[in-house]
Structure 1
Amino acid sequence: MSTPVPASAPATPEAVVGQVRLVPDGHRDFDTSLEHATRFHRLSRACLEQLVEQGLPHSSDATGLLFDRYDLRNVALLLGVRSPQRATYEAMAAALRAGGAGAAVRRTVVVRAYCPDREHCAGCAFVLDPAVTSAPEVVAVRRPEASRFEVDVLLAAADATPPPTPEQRRLLDEAAGLRFHLLPPGLTADLGFLRETGLADCTLAVRHLVAWAGELGVPARPATGLCLSRPFANRHHWLELRDVEGRWWPADPFFLRTLAGWGLLADGDWPAHRRPVGAYWRVDLDLDVPMLRHRGAGGAAGGSPPERLGPAYFLVQ
């Protein structure tokens, strides 16, 4: 297997700010301090000050400059900074390579639940959606603690990916025209924003490509679940395409092309039409439905979901 391709050259500060500003101001929350931006997002003070001069959206209070967390994540990615966000995608790329090695993949997913309500931190009830425990890849489920689930998952070995049909190739070409951008929740279903800017995260890209597939007459549907990256799994969304025998197979042209563009996957080994078998665990849920729910103290219904889609909840062993 060849090595990953070199990463694309980092964008200039002007280009970074230009892309970030395509997100409307109404979707920003200036809650991240300059100090946190430098410490957590690995962006230097000088870099941030230069970006502010170029027009990076910001606010300020008595402590100094304040930034939007999504803007900072995107800035770090566009500049090629070794940020926590970049590390997440490096781990997902590693999971794809491991899953594509040709052998079945067995993993244990440890789901650790936390109460999202600080008013009570004991006696909470947590529920895994039945779609999680009934997924065909699940071998065993254990619950050693009230807030801890252990799910053994067996993913089938990857096989050869057939070449795309002409119609599927048009779908791949559409995916190639999109630019990756982490979006706040208010934009992840806004197809108008995608058409206007060409920006999408995985959620919005899947919505758009499923709609586009319908126009092309390509059988496609959205899929959601976990990328079994280590040490932490990540909630992810991708496509499924139907073959001539009526079977559904995973496809992720937008994200595979994004990872290759960042130099995290070898483009020759990971063309956009390759099936990401062995890395993605599909769960039969809608894109916006959490896998884990919090029922509140005493198991009361209507509690808020504790799933923050972060590494504290899905540990992969």
Structure 2
Amino acid sequence: MSTPERTAASTRLEAVVRQAGLVPDEHRTFETSLEHAAQFHRLPRACLEQLVELGLPHSRRADGPLFDRYDLRNAALALEVRSPQRSTYEAMAAALRATGAAATPRRTVIVRAYCPAREHCTGCSFHLDPAVTSAPQVVATRRPEAARFEMDLELVPAAAPTAPTPAQRRLFDEAARLRFHLLPPGLTADLGFVRETGLADCTLAVRHLVHRGGELGTPVRAATGLCLSRPFANRHHWLELRDAEGRWWPADPFFLHTLVGWGLLGDDWPAHRSPGGAYWRVDLGLDVPFLRHLGATADASAPERLGPAYFLVQ
């Protein structure tokens, strides 16, 4: 006989599988074993087996199923397990709360680069995009080692919540209709996918909302940079809206709505509240990495969200 608790758990698992099914299979790479999924993503083995029974996409090999890492990340978020992905968003929410309370005007960002091959190759060199070091908030830069960059930032104090215009409120309503879903690279620019499914990560949500802002007649543009979470900063994208005086201010309605829904931010973080000093804007395209690696062959490494480096915040 099923209990209410068991029925609720089954319903959540079914919702995970149903949402995963909206992502086309051609965007999946099945390479994560059940053992790694349990160990790294903190998904219990019994839970994974239930997800497989319910239809979570996977491939079969002799020693067990293989999963797509994006499916696993989304499952871990939906089921609220203590996964690395959940910890990342908890840290980002903490960065927002900190600036909302009493913002520290200065931060130091330390970039520790590494060879993508993980074994330092002969002739490695690392190039931090000039847009990073020339950003207005940077007041000092240092390079004590070939693979280490340091930047002192002076941040803008967190802004008070701004009352949105009617047109901006319609844009925020549009953001609230989206559901957060980590997407593989092939879908992060697919406006047709978000219109059809309502699923988006921060990258696709920003692109969609900029497009919708144009349709609604709302001045809006995309912004990219770092969320200054600790200990590791995270590459992030958000919106900038224009006020009545023509000034641009940062807004992140989709991500704030998501964090409130997950219980990581309180109701004092409405969609129109500005993230203020939690974000550091850098004048780069959404797909341009902060740092590139050049090896002995002088070939640039494949672009990543940040590049082959860890970004630490002090």
* TM-score, scaled relative to structure 2: 0.93
3-state SS of paired residue (1:121): coil
What is the CA distance between 1:121 and its match in structure 2?
Answer: 2.1
- Equivalent residue number for residue 5 of structure 1: none
Mapped contact 1:292–1:305 kept (Cα < 8 A): no
Mapped contact 2:291–2:307 kept (Cα < 8 A): no
- AA of the residue aligned to 1:23: V
From the superposition, tell whether residues 119 and 259 of structure 1 become closer, same or farther in structure 2 (CA, over 3 Å). closer
Give a deviation string over 1:80-101, Cα, whole Å, max 9, x none.
1111100000000000011112
- AA of the residue aligned to 2:188: T
- Equivalent residue number for residue 288 of structure 2: 289
Whether 2:214 is the aligned partner of 1:217: answer no
- Equivalent residue number for residue 146 of structure 1: 146
Give a deviation string over 1:52-75, Cα, whole Å, max 9, x none.
010000112233111000000000
How far apart in 2 are the matches of 1:164 and 1:229?
27
Instruction: Give percent identity, aligned residues only.
Output: 78
How far apart in 2 are the matches of 1:91 and 1:145?
28
Range moving further from structure 2, 106-115 or 271-280: 106-115
How far apart in 1 are the matches of 2:24 and 2:98?
38
How far apart in 2 are the matches of 1:278 and 1:236?
14
Mapped contact 2:293–2:308 kept (Cα < 8 A): no
Range moving further from structure 2, 43-52 or 56-65: 56-65
- Equivalent residue number for residue 312 of structure 2: 315
Mapped contact 2:291–2:306 kept (Cα < 8 A): no
- Equivalent residue number for residue 227 of structure 1: 227
How far apart in 2 are the matches of 1:58 and 1:291?
34
Query: Which contiguous aligned blocks of 4+ residues in structure 1 show a shift greater than 6 angstroms?
Result: none
- Equivalent residue number for residue 97 of structure 2: 97
Q: CA RMSD, aligned part only? A: 1.8
Aligned length: 306
Matches within 5 A, 1:120-199: 121-199=121-199
Whether 2:300 is the aligned partner of 1:303: answer yes
* TM-score, scaled relative to structure 1: 0.92
Mapped contact 1:188–1:204 kept (Cα < 8 A): yes
Mapped contact 2:16–2:78 kept (Cα < 8 A): yes
- Equivalent residue number for residue 81 of structure 1: 81
How far apart in 1 are the matches of 2:266 and 2:300?
44
How far apart in 1 are the matches of 2:278 and 2:308?
17
- Equivalent residue number for residue 28 of structure 2: 28
What is the CA distance between 1:210 and its match in structure 2?
Answer: 0.3
Matches within 5 A, 1:246-285: 246-267=246-267, 269-285=268-284
Mapped contact 2:114–2:308 kept (Cα < 8 A): no
Mapped contact 2:289–2:307 kept (Cα < 8 A): no
How far apart in 1 are the matches of 2:13 and 2:295?
45
How far apart in 1 are the matches of 2:303 and 2:111?
11
What is the CA distance between 1:161 and its match in structure 2?
Answer: 2.1
What is the CA distance between 1:138 and its match in structure 2?
Answer: 0.5
From the superposition, tell whether residues 202 and 285 of structure 1 become closer, same or farther in structure 2 (CA, over 3 Å). same
3-state SS of paired residue (2:276): coil
3-state SS of paired residue (1:14): helix
From the superposition, tell whether residues 93 and 198 of structure 1 become closer, same or farther in structure 2 (CA, over 3 Å). same
3-state SS of paired residue (2:110): strand
Give a deviation string over 1:193-214, Cα, whole Å, max 9, x none.
0011000000000000001111
What is the CA distance between 1:159 and its match in structure 2?
Answer: 2.6
Q: Answer 1 or 2: which has greater helix percent.
A: 2
Mapped contact 1:138–1:152 kept (Cα < 8 A): yes
Mapped contact 2:95–2:230 kept (Cα < 8 A): yes
From the superposition, tell whether residues 291 and 312 of structure 1 become closer, same or farther in structure 2 (CA, over 3 Å). closer
For structure 1, which runs of at least 5 residues remain unmatched after alignment? 1-8
